[in-house]
Copies of this chain bind each other. A is one copy, B any other.
Amino acid sequence: MPVTMREVAQRAGVSVKTVSNVVNGYPYIREATRSRVIEAIDALGYQMNISARSLRASRTGIIALAVPELRMPYFAELSEAVIRIARENDLTVLIEQTGAERERELALLSSARGHLVDGVIFSPLALGADDADRLNVPFPMVLLGERIFRGPVDHVSIDNVAASREVVRHLISNGRRRIALIGMISHEGVGTAALRFQGYLEALAEAGLAPSPELVLPAGPWNRSAGAEATNRLLDSGVEFDAVFGLNDTLALGALRALLSRGIRVPNDVAVAGFDDIEETRFSTPTLTTVDPGRDQIARTAVELLVSRMKGQNDEVRPREIFADYALHPRQSTGEPLTG
């Protein structure tokens, strides 16, 4: 038996409308009235009924965050940031896990949870540029990641080519010449892998190094075990290399693990670098060189873009493409001394 506004109004000796005004911070209320209402609210333990409000206002105060897998550290950390920043904007976050499955990513777009959410922040991993049209959804949406550029909705990402180039430059400036790349996904022309691969090629080219196909290793899901497997394949192949660039941190950590367990010294024999700057990279042995893709900035920008769309003031503004800042963090795995 929840307390309603009506009951609060009765106890305070005012009308429901006045209670509503107080609750919603309407300014023109006599101080005496306001305090009587607040007193009644406290006394009765009144809680606004969100369902009623959202039915009336067709607005729930909930946004959805759709990510592939919460277990992937990058997405766990991203989600944390989105939840925290959404909170600052009085929004609650509902997390959808798509499992990186195309079906479920599409389902997300067509359902949007039945008016339950006011907007969606969507980080696709299966949909690609060909699906851009399907992003024309009837609710505010912000896209994250590198799968779809120039789609019909606001988009936040980083300059993956440049960031990746920076990592490889760093390896080269470290004296590395045979740099293996782990995590290639060759069957897709676009996406994170392709962009980071391009940065890799560009950095090699700058330094006058020829890319070797045998140094480019595919790796299935971007997790530790795929990284370790690919590294073992590389080692077994007998191909020489003096550095490994994992296209994300978990791949690189898996590589690190494989190298060390085969008695290869890092960074002395082989340098290792990753991508994402997940917390763990600061606590591996050795600590892992990586790029921070500005998770917090991405989260903040995404929430802000979404909020501005939800307010509906920007209906005519064309889709915005925003690039967050990235930053290279050289650490022990490429020869930096330990700091901190």
Contact = CB atoms under 8 A, between A and B. Distances in A.
A129 interface: no
Nearest to A224: B283
B93 A224 contact: no
Given A73-B73, A111-B47, A283-B225, A93 B94 contact: yes
A115 interface: yes
Nearest to A110: B45
A51 B57 CA distance: 10
A256 interface: yes
**How many protomers of this protein does the assembly include?**
2
B62 A80 contact: no
Scoring A110, A285, A287 by chain B CB atoms within 10 A of each residue's CB, the highest score goes to A285
Given A76-B73, A225-B283, A283-B228, A115 B47 contact: yes
A198 interface: no
A48 B338 contact: no
B116 A51 contact: yes
A71 interface: yes
A176 interface: no
A96 B84 CA distance: 9
Nearest to A64: B92
Contact of A49 (B77, B115, B280): B115
A84 B62 contact: no
Scoring A83, A95, A256, A260 by chain B CB atoms within 10 A of each residue's CB, the highest score goes to A95
A84 to B, nearest CB: 7
A115 B50 contact: yes
A54 interface: yes
Scoring A62, A253, A283 by chain B CB atoms within 10 A of each residue's CB, the highest score goes to A283
B55 A51 contact: yes
Contacts of A253: 280, 283
Contacts of A97: 80, 83-84
Interface string A208-226: 0000000000000001110
A45 to B, nearest CB: 8
Interface of A: 2, 45, 47-52, 54-55, 58, 60, 62, 69-71, 73, 76-77, 79-80, 83-84, 92-97, 110-116, 223-225, 228, 253-254, 256-257, 260-261, 279-280, 282-287, 338
* 4 cross-chain pairs, A with B, having the tightest CB-CB distances, nearest first: A224-B283, A76-B76, A51-B54, A47-B114
22 contacts: A47-B115, A50-B116, A51-B115, A62-B94, A62-B116, A69-B80, A70-B79, A71-B76, A73-B73, A80-B97, A84-B97, A92-B94, A223-B279, A224-B283, A225-B282, A225-B283, A253-B283, A257-B284, A257-B285, A261-B286, A261-B338, A285-B285
